[in-house]
C-alpha cells in the first residue's frame, strides 16, 4: 500500500515508518524537516499524490492554549482537504485516551477539536486514542518537581510503550477504516505517583515523590477515570518494569 505518515520524524512516526516499510509498504515520512508542513500547506499535495492511507501522528510544537488549538485546527483542515483532493481512502489519527474527560486543559480541547474535524470529513477514518507513553514519564516527573520534591496525585494510569503504539498503528493502517475510535493501553494499570516513583528509583534519582490527591496532571485535575481506557481497549504487551530494565542504564 501507499501510506503517508504525517509526523514521520517523531518518536512514533519513525517507528511506524520503519514497521510499515519492513512489511513491504511504500511509505512517505512527511514532516517539516522533509518539506511537508500541514500548517502552511507546503508540500502536502506532492506528499499525498497516490496515497491510499494517511496516518497522522504529528504533535503540536507548543501546549499554550491558543497556539495548540490553532495548530490542530489549521493542520487538520489543511490535511483533510489535501487528502480529499488526492482521493485518500483512510485517515488515521493518533489521539489521547481521556481527551473528552480533560477539557479543562487547552491541549485536550485542541485534540477534541482535531477529532471533530476528522469525524465531519467525508474521508473514512479511524481515531486511535493511546494512553500516556512510558517515554514521557520523566516529563511528568519534571512538570511536578519543586526542588527535590515531586508532588503527584494517585490517579490510575495505564501507560504504554511507544513501540507497541507504532505496532498497533501499523496494523490499523492496512485494515479497513472503522469510522470510529479504538483505544490503546499498556497491559497493567498503575497509579501515577507510583509510576514516577519507580521511574526515579530505576534512574537513581534522589527526588522524592509526595502523594497529593489535589495535585494535577500538567496542571489539570484528574481522577481514576481520566487517563484510563474504557471497556475492551487494545493492549500492548510490554510491561513498565520490563521497559525500565532494558532502557535504564545499569551501574
pLDDT per position as a tens digit, 145-174: 999 999 999 999 999 999 999 999 999 999
Q: Which residue has the cell 495535585?
A: 215
3-state helix, strand, coil in the chain (%, to 5): 40, 20, 40
pLDDT digits (tens, 9 = 90+) for 48-94: 999 999 999 999 988 899 999 999 999 999 999 999 999 999 999 99
C-beta atoms surrounding 56 within 10 Å: 25
- Go through the domains of the chain in sequence order and give each one's CATH number: 2-247 (3.40.50.720)
Residue 125 bridge partners (DSSP)? 91
**Measuring CA to CA, which residue among 88, 89, 104, 101 is closest to residue 129?**
101
Q: Are 151 and 189 in contact (CB under 8 A)?
A: no
In tens, the pLDDT along 163-207 reads 999 999 999 999 999 999 999 999 999 999 999 999 999 999 999
**Hey, CA dihedral for 76, 82, 87, 88, is it positive or negative?**
negative
Q: Which helix (H) or strand (E) holds 27?
A: strand 26-30
Whole-number Cα distances in Å, 63 to 39, 69, 129, 156, 159: 16, 9, 18, 23, 20
pLDDT, the chain, mean: 96
pLDDT tens, 87-129?
999 999 999 999 999 999 999 999 999 999 999 999 999 999 9
199, 99, 234, 5: CA torsion to nearest 10 = -90
Alpha helices in the chain (DSSP H): 11-22, 44-48, 65-86, 106-120, 137-143, 162-173, 192-202, 240-247
Q: What is the pTM of this model?
A: 0.95
- CA–CA separation, 127 vs 178, rounded Å? 8
Amino acid at each position: 500500500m501507499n501510506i503517508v505518515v504525517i509526523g514521520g520524524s517523531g518518536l512514533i512516526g519513525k517507528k511506524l515508518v520503519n514497521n510499515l516499510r519492513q512489511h513491504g509498504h511504500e511509505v512517505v515520512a512527511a514532516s517539516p524537516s522533509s518539506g511537508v508542513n500541514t500548517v502552511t500547506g507546503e508540500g502536502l499535495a506532492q506528499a499525498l499524490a497516490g496515497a491510499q492511507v494517511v496516518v497522522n501522528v504529528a504533535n503540536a510544537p507548543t501546549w499554550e492554549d491558543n497556539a495548540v488549538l490553532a495548530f490542530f485546527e489549521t493542520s487538520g483542515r489543511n490535511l483533510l482537504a489535501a487528502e480529499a483532493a488526492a482521493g485518500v481512502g483512510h485517515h488515521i489519527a493518533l489521539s489521547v485516551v481521556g481527551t473528552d474527560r480533560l477539557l479543562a486543559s487547552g491541549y485536550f480541547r485542541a485534540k477534541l477539536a482535531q477529532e471533530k474535524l476528522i469525524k465531519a470529513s467525508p474521508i473514512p477514518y479511524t481515531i486511535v486514542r493511546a494512553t500516556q507513553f512510558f517515554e514521557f514519564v520523566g516529563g511528568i516527573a519534571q512538570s511536578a518537581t519543586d526542588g527535590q520534591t515531586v508532588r503527584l496525585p494517585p490517579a490510575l494510569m495505564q501507560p504504554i510503550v511507544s513501540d507497541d503504539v507504532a505496532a498497533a498503528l501499523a496494523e490499523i493502517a492496512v485494515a479497513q477504516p472503522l469510522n470510529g475510535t479504538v483505544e490503546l493501553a499498556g497491559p497493567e494499570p498503575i497509579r501515577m505517583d507510583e509510576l514516577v516513583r519507580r521511574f526515579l528509583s530505576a534512574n537513581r534519582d534522589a527526588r522524592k515523590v509526595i502523594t497529593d490527591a489535589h495535585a494535577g496532571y500538567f496542571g489539570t485535575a484528574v481522577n481514576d477515570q481520566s487517563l484510563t481506557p474504557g471497556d475492551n481497549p487494545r493492549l500492548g504487551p510490554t510491561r513498565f518494569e520490563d521497559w525500565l530494565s532494558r532502557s535504564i542504564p545499569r551501574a
